Structure 1
Amino acid sequence: MQTETISLEIAEHIAHVKLTRPDELNTMTPAFWEDMISVFEAIDADPAVRAVVLSSTGRHFTAGLDLKSAQSLHGDPKDVARERVHFLKHVKRLQHSFTVIDECRVPVIAVIQGGCIGGGVDLVTACDMRIIAEGGWFSVQEINVGIVADVGTLQRIPHLLPQGIVRELAYTGRRFPADEAKSYGFVNAVAADHEAALASAMALAKTIAQKSPVAMMGTKAVLNRGRGQTVEAGLDYVAVWNAAFLQGEDMREAIGAQMQKREPAFKNIA
């Protein structure tokens, strides 16, 4: 599958999503936001997919929002209320473009090279894991152009970094380099270069794809549901989840494979 801004390839239960506008620094045009929704809808519809690797091309992962397209975010100029309703609907649609990643039923691994700027941080914080190439960096760039980050960074990054660091990055827009990001656990690994980072992500995706797809879907759902909830509410949720799904074939297959010292063979999710 190839859209205007993104490509999708699926092989051996792994979906590889790739940003494909390197000459434009993979900036996020109006087409990008719709393409992201279409690509993840296709992933969700494919029962064979068990993990996603999301990477990019060129010197930078993404320079964030395409500022030229930001000039067209106005509705009815004669009525400020209607103009603001138009803008609200627009922002909610942009948010949905990354919520589809967060809510994807399988884990998503981001591979970052060079700069991951503005909307790029919104994007990778919606992913489950992040692997970055040496020399890569992040920037919550919105503060530097006079706006509040509004597509997910400020909601998701507090679950990934200490509050003081979150606020420093959001208030200053400074570069957050790979080694510092690794020291806080924001990235899972720092690889020697982009190729090595992609290889590491693919190896991780392969390991994930070998697990029970039902158990993997449930694990992600329970982890996501637990954000912002009490331990008690989380325990209730996972109890209900396992009461519904624990009696499937996957547990018997997983235990049988361990006892027989073989690789398990799980069916795709219907």
Structure 2
Amino acid sequence: MEHYRTLRIFQKSPNSGVFHLNLNRQSQRNALSRDFFTEFPIAFQSLDQNPNASVILLSGTGDHFCSGIDINTLNSTADDSGDRGRSGEKLRRDIKFLQDAITAIERCRKPVIAAIKGACIGGADLGTLQRLPGIVGFGNAMELALTGRRFSGQEAKELGLVSRVFGSKEELDEGVRIIAEGIAAKSPLAVTGTKAVLLRSRDASLEQGLDYVATWNSAMLLSEDLREAVSAHLQKRKPTFSKL
């Protein structure tokens, strides 16, 4: 495993396809430092290429998921050159660099489940205004963005921002474990394909989405995974799929 300053990657079971990715700056409540933005996409690229990794569980060490962007990260984007044009160009590059790290979650072929405990605080806009309306609706996104208010996990569930809420850390861990292990047992071709098609369809028209899934399936559908799934169903046994 690679060594990271701000992250930790591990498996709880060596035979499991579930890999844990922890934000690991507990003393700073997992604030997002400059090192994080460098390491996060590297970690996801590594997990993407790891054939043993089927599902990624993203969580934070300590009592909180994340306390937002580290103030030193914002300070590092400053440019004292005195040239407004060059300062603006550097700032744009820095913002794109920060945005790119968050987009790494989508670029990774493997599904990612966020297990959030305690505080989950945003930072500078790294894609929230672009992604949130499609998740919680335009009006809710506008209200949350303009007020910057705090809201509970239960309200996040009601808004559709999270899919489930648990009463304790133990219930959270067990709940996400069951979901992750369930996904990991499925065809990796089907799982990665589903994620890819959903992401493409989000930004496309219905006709474009239908065309994309038709093209995807024409290349991926007729596989050993499909034969194994059908065979296992007929034989009333659990399927066994090859790694991707």
TM-based fold match above 0.5: yes
Q: Distance in 1 between matches of 2:42 and 2:107?
A: 14
**Correspondence for 1:110:** 114
Does the 8 A contact of 1:161 with 1:186 survive in 2?
Answer: yes
**Correspondence for 1:52:** 56
**1:150: how far off?**
2.4
Q: Secondary structure at the match of 2:114?
A: strand
Alignment match of 1:71 (pick from 64, 72, 75): 75
Q: Distance in 1 between matches of 2:146 and 2:185?
A: 41
Q: What are the Cα deviations for residues 12-68 of structure 1, in whole angstroms up to 9, with x where unaligned? A: 111110011112111011111111112111101101211110011222211111113
User: Post-superposition, which runs of at least 4 consecutive aligned residues in structure 1 deviate over 2 A?
Assistant: none
Unaligned runs of 5+ in 2: none
Q: How does 1:149-188 map to 2 (within 5 A)?
A: 149-188=124-163
**1:4: how far off?**
0.7
Q: How does 1:218-237 map to 2 (within 5 A)?
A: 218-237=193-212
| Aligned: 1:29 with 2:21 | no
**Correspondence for 1:142:** none
Aligned residues: 240
Given residue 188 of structure 2, which amino acid in structure 1 is its aligned partner? Answer: P
Higher strand share: 1
Q: What are the Cα deviations for residues 226-262 of structure 1, in whole angstroms up to 9, with x where unaligned? A: 0132111110000000011111110000010011111
**Correspondence for 2:181:** 206
**1:110: how far off?**
0.2
Q: Distance in 1 between matches of 2:133 and 2:88?
A: 28
Given residue 6 of structure 1, which amino acid in structure 2 is its aligned partner? Answer: L
Q: Percent identity?
A: 42
Deviates more, 1:225-234 or 1:191-200: 191-200
Given residue 198 of structure 2, which amino acid in structure 1 is its aligned partner? Answer: L
Unaligned runs of 5+ in 1: 120-148
Q: Distance in 2 between matches of 1:13 and 1:193?
A: 25
Does the 8 A contact of 1:112 with 1:194 survive in 2?
Answer: no
Deviates more, 1:18-27 or 1:217-226: 18-27
Does the 8 A contact of 1:76 with 1:82 survive in 2?
Answer: no
Q: What are the Cα deviations for residues 123-171 of structure 1, in whole angstroms up to 9, with x where unaligned? A: xxxxxxxxxxxxxxxxxxxxxxxxxx42111111111102111111000
Q: What are the Cα deviations for residues 79-130 of structure 1, in whole angstroms up to 9, with x where unaligned? A: 11111111111111111111110121011000111111113xxxxxxxxxxx
Cα RMSD (Å): 1.3
Given residue 74 of structure 1, which amino acid in structure 2 is its aligned partner? Answer: A
Q: Secondary structure at the match of 1:258?
A: helix
Q: Distance in 2 between matches of 1:184 and 1:212?
A: 31
